[in-house]
C-alpha cells in the first residue's frame, strides 16, 4: 500500500473573516472551505462548463456555481442539481495546528476535516442525484430500469435548434430532469418566448426520451424563468456559433 502524500496548502490565518481560501492542490486550483469547525477541499472548477466556484454561495453543505446555478455537495463533490451532471474533484484535508494540509490521493470519504478532530477515515455514503439512482439491479431487468440523467442528456443532444443549429443541451435550454417510476419530466426553456421552433423542439425532445428503454412517458414543461441568455451556452455551443 502506498503512503498517502500530504502537502501544506495554507494556514488558518489566511481565512481572516472569509469562509474560503484559494489554494493549489496537485497543481490544480482549489478551494479550502470552512464551515463551522469542518474544512473541505474541492477543485475550483464547475464540471458543467468550467466556471470557477470561487465566488459560489455556500449553504447547507453545498456550493452553488455562480454561472448557471449547479450545486455540488462539499463532502462528496456530487452534483445536486442540473445543469451539472458530473462530480467536482475533492481532496482530503487535515488541519494540523494552524497549518492546512491536503492530499490528492483522497478517496471520497476522506474529504473533510475539523480543526479539533481530524476525520480522514470518516465513512461517508456518497449521495447521488435522486434521479440518477438506478433501480435495484438483480431484481429488475435492465430494459426496465430508468435511464441515468446523463444518458437522457446525451439523448436530448440529438434535438437541435433549427435556427441556431446547436443542440438544446449545449444551448443551455434544459434546466432540470426528474424521473419517478420511469415517468420523466424535463423543465426547459426556449431562446425566446416567441421562438417559432418551440413546438418542434418540444415534440422532438419528448420523442427522443420516450424512445429510450426504461422511459414510460416524457413530459416537457416550458418555463421562461429564468429567461434564457447566451451566457447559458456551453463553450462548445459558443464555438459552433463563433462567439468568443
Ligand atoms: S458553468 Fe457551472 S453551472 Fe454552468
Interhelix angle 149-156/198-210, nearest 10 degrees: 130
Q: Which of the four CATH numbers 3.30.300.130, 1.20.120.530, 2.60.40.150, 1.10.3720.10 does domain 142-241 have? A: 3.30.300.130
φ, ψ of residue 165 in degrees (nearest 5): 60, 35
Q: Which of 218, 41, 49 lies closest to 146, judged by CA?
A: 218
pLDDT reported for residue 106? 53
pLDDT reported for residue 34? 95
Measured in Å, residue 51 CA sits from the centre of ligand 1 at 6
Q: Which residues line ligand 1 (CB under 6 A)?
A: 46, 48-49, 51, 65, 67-70, 83-84
pLDDT reported for residue 144? 59
Measured in Å, residue 13 CA sits from the centre of ligand 1 at 31
Measured in Å, residue 129 CA sits from the centre of ligand 1 at 16
Q: What is d(CA 83, CA 101) in angstroms, rounded to the nearest whole number? A: 32
CA gyration radius for the chain?
20
Which atom of ligand 1 lies closest to the CA of 70? 3
Measured in Å, residue 98 CA sits from the centre of ligand 1 at 33
pLDDT reported for residue 131? 41
Task: Order across the sheet with 58-59: list the strands.
Answer: 58-59, 62-64, 71-73
Sign of CA dihedral 162, 166, 168, 173: negative
**80-117 pLDDT, tens per residue?**
887 787 889 999 999 999 999 999 865 445 456 655 43
Pocket test for ligand 1, best of 43, 47, 51 (most atoms within 8 A of CB): 51
SS3 18: coil
Assign domain 7-126 to its CATH architecture.
Answer: 3-layer Sandwich (2.102)
pLDDT reported for residue 227? 87
Confidence of residue 1 (pLDDT cuts 50, 70, 90): low
**136-174 pLDDT, tens per residue?**
434 444 445 778 888 899 999 999 998 889 999 999 999
DSSP 3-state helix, strand, coil percentages of the chain (rounded to 5)? Answer: 20, 30, 50
pLDDT reported for residue 37? 87
Pocket test for ligand 1, best of 49, 173, 236 (most atoms within 8 A of CB): 49
Least confident among 9-23, 32-46, 76-90, 203-217: 76-90
**Angle made by CA atoms 92, 98, 101, in degrees to the nearest 5:** 20
Which atom of ligand 1 lies closest to the CA of 69? 3
pLDDT at 128 over 50: no
Q: Which of 74, 116, 108, 115 lies closest to 92, judged by CA?
A: 108
Which atom of ligand 1 lies closest to the CA of 53? 2
Grid cell 456550493 in the structure block, residue: 63
Alpha helices for the chain (secondary structure H): 149-156, 198-210, 235-241
Q: For 119-138, what is the mean pLDDT?
A: 35
pLDDT reported for residue 244? 64
Q: What is d(CA 127, CA 122) in angstroms, rounded to the nearest whole number? A: 15
117 vs 214, more confident: 214
Q: What is d(CA 186, CA 228) in angstroms, rounded to the nearest whole number? A: 16
pLDDT reported for residue 13? 92
For the whole model, what pTM was predicted?
0.59
Q: What is d(CA 203, CA 186) in angstroms, rounded to the nearest whole number? A: 12
Measured in Å, residue 240 CA sits from the centre of ligand 1 at 18
- Domain ranges in the chain are 7-126, 142-241
Q: Which of 88, 100, 87 lies closest to 38, judged by CA?
A: 100
Alpha carbons within 13 A on the beta-carbon side of 237: 21
| Residue length of the chain | 244
Amino acid at each position: 500500500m502506498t503512503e498517502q502524500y500530504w502537502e501544506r496548502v495554507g494556514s488558518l490565518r489566511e481565512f481572516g473573516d472569509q469562509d474560503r481560501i484559494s489554494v493549489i492542490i496537485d497543481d490544480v486550483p482549489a478551494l479550502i472551505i470552512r464551515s463551522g469547525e469542518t474544512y473541505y477541499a474541492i477543485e475550483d472548477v464547475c464540471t458543467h462548463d468550467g466556471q470557477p466556484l470561487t465566488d459560489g454561495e455556500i449553504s447547507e453543505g453545498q456550493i452553488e456555481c455562480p454561472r448557471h446555478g449547479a450545486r455540488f455537495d462539499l463532502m462528496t463533490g456530487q452534483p445536486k442539481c442540473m445543469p451539472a451532471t458530473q462530480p467536482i474533484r475533492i481532496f482530503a484535508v487535515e488541519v494540523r495546528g494552524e497549518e492546512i494540509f491536503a492530499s490528492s490521493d483522497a478517496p471520497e470519504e476522506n474529504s473533510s476535516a475539523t480543526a479539533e478532530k481530524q476525520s480522514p477515515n470518516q465513512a461517508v455514503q456518497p449521495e447521488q442525484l435522486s434521479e440518477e439512482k438506478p433501480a435495484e439491479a438483480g431484481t429488475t431487468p435492465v430494459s426496465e430500469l430508468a435511464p441515468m440523467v446523463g444518458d437522457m442528456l446525451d439523448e436530448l443532444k440529438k434535438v437541435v435548434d433549427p435556427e441556431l443549429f446547436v443542440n438544446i443541451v449545449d444551448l443551455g435550454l434544459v434546466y432540470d430532469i426528474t424521473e419517478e417510476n420511469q415517468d420523466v419530466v424535463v423543465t426547459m426553456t426556449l431562446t425566446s418566448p416567441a421562438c417559432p421552433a418551440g413546438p418542434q423542439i418540444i415534440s422532438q425532445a419528448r420523442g427522443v426520451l420516450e424512445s429510450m428503454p426504461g422511459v414510460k412517458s416524457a413530459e416537457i414543461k416550458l418555463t421562461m424563468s429564468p429567461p434564457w441568455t447566451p451566457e447559458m451556452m456551453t463553450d462548445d455551443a459558443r464555438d459552433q456559433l463563433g462567439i468568443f
